[in-house]
Every structure is written in structure tokens, then in C-alpha cells.
Chains A and B, each alone.
Chain A
């Protein structure tokens, strides 16, 4: 009897172990066997497409925080960004900061007054080699073929490894339920729940229906958005004719946001 019980427990243990490792092994296996026919997703013919989306911010066209407020408000409104009063719990997709904080490695004592006092826009850089994507243990944050780094709010386990990995401080965590802090809920975009990370999504939901990102649309031409690999795009035109800088380019992450100073 003793042996029978032990044998059963051993067998059960080994079986559980086997079942548990299957998805792990699947990740490493690259066989064709498991492939099932997947339904095809038809693209919206209106959708905007690019090899790699990028943004050029012409800071010469801004003077004060007032000029930037409409851009930020447009984003906050569309994306159901809560307005939390506790600074520790803030959710920020696009916001402003000073030159010395945005370009920590380029600041010096004698920076001219215009740059020193100019508010700079900050948002997710949608890096070519995103450290956050590499760190995420569940692929809840991932990079699309068009270069946009996205979040799956339903898969995120809230480990915040991506926040530690991001060298730009672009990510926010829902330390509490954000819903009661949203001024007016936009039913066309999901609200988030507590315990997940979020950040700027380059308005992927708008590109999918042929619209430019909300901040670009509200910028009166100060922000350009387009395909980095299309030589005729507006962003390429601006990059060709202006000297541009990127945040912490020495880290090699390859940010997609370019600043004309």
C-alpha cells in the first residue's frame, strides 16, 4: 500500500512537472508542427503605414508652456489619462520638462537663455532597441514592425521591470484605480485598471484609422510625424535640413524622437 501511494505521488508529480514545462519548451521549439491556420486580419485601407515611425519636434516654434498645453491636453483627453494629485502616482504620456532634465548629458553652465527657459516635450522614444521590451517577462510590452512600442494592459503583471529598464523615465504605473480620476472618459479608448504599466503609444489607434497622432495634430506644424525610411517624408526633409539631437543617444537605444533646438 505504502509503495502504491508513493508510486502514485511520484507519477503525479512528474506529470504536473511535464505539463508545466510545455509552454516553456514551446517557446524554444521552432517546429512547424504546432502551426495552425490563423485567420487573416484585413488592414483598414485608410490606415497609415510606415517602415519606422519617427517624430521631429521643432522646439523653435514654442515659447512657453502655454504653447505646449493644447498638445498635452489633446493626448490626455483621448487616452483617458487620469489626473492624480499625488505626484508619486502620476500617469504621464507626454509632458514637459527643462532642458537640463531632458538632455541630462548636454546641459552646461552657459546654455543660452532661450534653451534654458524653454519647456521641452517629453514622451516615449519608441526606441529601435527598446530596453523595456527586452526586460518584460511576459511580452506585455512589445515592438511592432513599424517601430511603435506598445503595451498590452491585459497581459501586464505589473512587475515594473520595464520602468527600471527605461533610461528615459517614460513609463507610468497605476498605483491605484485610475478611473475615478479621469475628467471625462473617452469611450473609444480603453481605461486602465490598477497594477499595470502604461505609456505613450504613438497614437497607434489613430494611425490605424488614418489619423495623425493627437499631439501632432494639435501642434500647428511644430511636430512632424512620418516614416524615417521614406526619403520623401516630412521627417526626413526636416532631418536633412536641420541639425537634430536625440535624448541619451550614447546608450544606443535608438530613440525615434528628434529635437531641433
Chain B
């Protein structure tokens, strides 16, 4: 099936070359970071994790969110999703690839990364995160590839593939739970020290992942001969609606606990994000935009007439995606570091080189996604004789 990636039109190759150019430029900046150190980023002694780790966190969610199209098919025998499970699986692969690259980009000594395996430390959550992420990547590769190959050959996939698919469904929430545990088990960071963090991560993941899938389905319908299907898109939209509402609800639960109890070390971070702290307000407009986008999306998704209109639905999905991206990709990580444990306020903003490296990793992910979707869609077109 791999040969399918070599058969494409002008636009396809244009996209591939464009992504490769971005990757090349970003790679140059990464080499600079490698030789100079992480000092070229906006990170500091106080805000010691920044944009890279935030993107990693958000994308683990997108990867886990892919399961929302796989689960109904295998667990509830919801046949309609059979057409597009492969898209969920391939999206998960691209997202996990980006996650792993963001981790590498964030390491001070990336060439020593294998120390995590050479000196395995089961007491560290990062050790488990490595296992669940790589495991999820492998599962999706094997399941996705075999199911698609079976479809191409007009046969039913082997029973062991279904077993692995079920394992991957159970595995999906795990990757985001473990990622949340990276943060919520740390004693001195009031913002993360909450049991709702993992559920909140999952809710936003199950909103962002499927929202992105809807957008991808709409694009595929436009640029290829394969139609993912109206029913499929509408079912995904309902999943997004529930997930984004639950996400906002979990956030409000957190706000209640923090502000009713009035424990300063928990309040300060949310204050910093939404009203500013001691005059530091860099993230305030972002966080309110995030809330506004999520609320707008909820309104558009809950009302049946707007949800059923695919143009409006696309707008709602963009709102969900950007809203949850700001929440996790900007607020969630630096919010936990401001103020620092000694109650000093050091603000964080990514630098230009940091943004370019980030863009390069996104380009790599989109390249993987483009190639995989190209294979999937080509097989779909082939099978249906289009």
C-alpha cells in the first residue's frame, strides 16, 4: 500500500514540498537550540516547561480523541463509523509522532533520551508516559494498517486485529490519564494538584480530537472522491458537543472548589490566567478568548439546526479546536508555573525560534497525516471503484 503515496497530483506534491521546507527550516533552528541550549526559548528557571510541553499535552489529547470514532464501531457495532475508523487511527499516529518530537525538542540533552530505557524508573510518571505513548503508536500502526489492507483485498481483517483494536481503545484514555498524572501528582503546584485534571484532559481531548476529525472529513470530501459521509460527521458532532460541555463543566467544578475554599496557593494560578496577578496579565486575553470560543461552540453544537448545517458545524469545530488549544497549549502549562513556589511572578512567552521549531514539528505531523490519509483515501477510492 505504501506505493500509493507516490501517486498524487500537483496540489498533493505542492503540499508535501511545502511541509518539507517548513521542516527543513525548523530543523536548522533545532540544531541551533542543540548547540546553544534551551536558552533560545522563552523558558526560565521559574517557568521551566513552556510551549513544547504544552503542545505535547494538547496533542496527546488529539491522539486519544481519535478513539471516539473507533470505540463506537468495535464496542457498539456502530457500522457507520466503519468507513472512517481508519481516519481516527491514522490521526492518532500523526499526533503521537508529534508528541514524541515535542518531548525530544524539550530535552536539554536529547542525545541522552535513551537513559529513560537504560535506567528504567517505574516510580517516575515519565517512564510510564514513554510506555503508553509508544505502545499507542504501535497499536494504531498495526491495527490501522491491517484493517486497511484487508479492506483493499476485500476480505475481513484477522481476528487478532480486532483484539488489538480493542486493546487500543482501552489504551487511548490511558495515554491522556498518564499525561495528566505527570502534572497532578506534584506537591507544590496548586494549579495542577487536583483530581479533576485527568478527567478534564480527557474531556477536552474527546472534544478536540473528533472536532479536528470532522474538519478533516470535510476537507477530504472536498479534495478527493471519497465521502466520509453525512451521518458519520453528524455523529461525531454529537460526540464533540457532549465532550466540550463536560470539559467546561469540569473547569467550573475546579473554579468552584478553588474559589469557595479560598486557598491562595490554588487561587493564584487561576487569577493569573483570567484577571492577572500583581499586574502581570499576558495570558488574560487568551484565556477569555478560549472560554468565549468554547461557549460559542457549545451554542452552535447544541442547537440542532446549526449543528446540522455543515458550514456552521465547521465553524463550531474550529472554535472547539482553537478554544481547547489555548486552554491546554497556552494556559495549562505556564499557568501552573506562575506564580512560582516562592510566589514570584515570572511570565512566559515563547520566542521566535521556539515558535519555528514548534511549527516544524507540526509540519512533520501534518506530513505524516497527509501521507497516511493519502493511502487511506486512495484505498477507499480504489475499493469503491471511483
Contact = CB atoms under 8 A, between A and B. Distances in A.
Interface of A: 20, 23-24, 26-28, 86-90, 92, 97, 100-102, 104-105, 122, 131, 134-140, 155-161, 163-169, 172-177, 194-197, 248, 251-253
6 contacts: A27-B122, A97-B342, A105-B265, A137-B130, A157-B115, A164-B337
Contact of B124 (A101, A135, A176, A251): A135
A143 B46 CA distance: 24
B48 A164 contact: yes
Nearest to A28: B122
A26 B122 CA distance: 12
B182 A166 contact: no
Given A159-B106, A175-B38, A195-B109, A165 B48 contact: no
Given A164-B48, A164-B189, A197-B108, 4 more contacts: A136-B121, A156-B112, A157-B110, A194-B37
A179 to B, nearest CB: 12
Given A104-B265, A135-B125, A137-B121, A194 B186 contact: no
A131 to B, nearest CB: 5
B84 interface: no
Nearest to A89: B39
B126 A176 contact: no
Contacts of B127: 137
B48 A101 contact: no
A176 B37 CA distance: 5
A195 B188 contact: no
Contact of B186 (A122, A160, A164): A164
B44 A89 contact: yes
A168 B38 CA distance: 22
Contacts of A86: 39
A85 B2 CA distance: 53
Interface of B: 36-39, 43-46, 48-49, 103, 106-110, 112-113, 115-127, 130, 182-183, 186-189, 265, 336-337, 340-344, 346
Given A24-B117, A161-B182, A101 B109 contact: no
Contacts of B112: 138, 155-158
Among B38, B106, B107, B110, which residue has the most Cβ atoms of chain A within 10 A?
B38
Contacts of A134: 123-124
A195 B107 contact: yes
B126 A137 contact: yes
Nearest to A127: B187
A169 to B, nearest CB: 4
Given A89-B39, A158-B109, A176-B39, A102 B342 contact: yes
Given A160-B108, A177-B37, A138 B344 contact: no
Contacts of B187: 131, 165, 167, 251-253
B39 A166 contact: no
Contacts of A164: 48-49, 183, 186, 189, 336-337
B109 A160 contact: no
B49 A88 contact: no
A136 B122 CA distance: 10
A218 to B, nearest CB: 24
A71 to B, nearest CB: 19
A70 to B, nearest CB: 23
B354 to A, nearest CB: 12
B121 A139 contact: yes
Contacts of A136: 121, 124
A195 to B, nearest CB: 3
A172 B43 CA distance: 12
Nearest to B112: A157
A167 B341 contact: yes
A162 B45 CA distance: 12
A155 B37 contact: no
Contacts of A252: 187
Contact of A174 (B37, B44, B113, B123): B37
A175 B37 contact: yes
Contacts of B126: 135, 137, 159, 161
Contacts of B336: 164
B188 A157 contact: no
B186 A173 contact: no
Given A102-B342, A158-B109, A169-B340, A138 B115 contact: yes
A107 to B, nearest CB: 9
Contacts of A87: 44-45, 346
Contacts of B341: 104, 166-169
B107 A159 contact: yes
Contact of A196 (B43, B108, B119, B130): B108
Contact of B109 (A157, A169, A172): A157
A235 to B, nearest CB: 24
Nearest to A103: B342
Among A92, A139, A172, which residue has the most Cβ atoms of chain B within 10 A?
A139
Given A24-B120, A138-B115, A101 B37 contact: no
Nearest to A253: B187
A72 to B, nearest CB: 17
Closest A-B pairs by Cβ, 7 of them: A158-B108, A167-B188, A195-B108, A88-B44, A194-B37, A175-B39, A137-B126
B186 A138 contact: no
Contacts of A172: 45
Contacts of B189: 164, 167
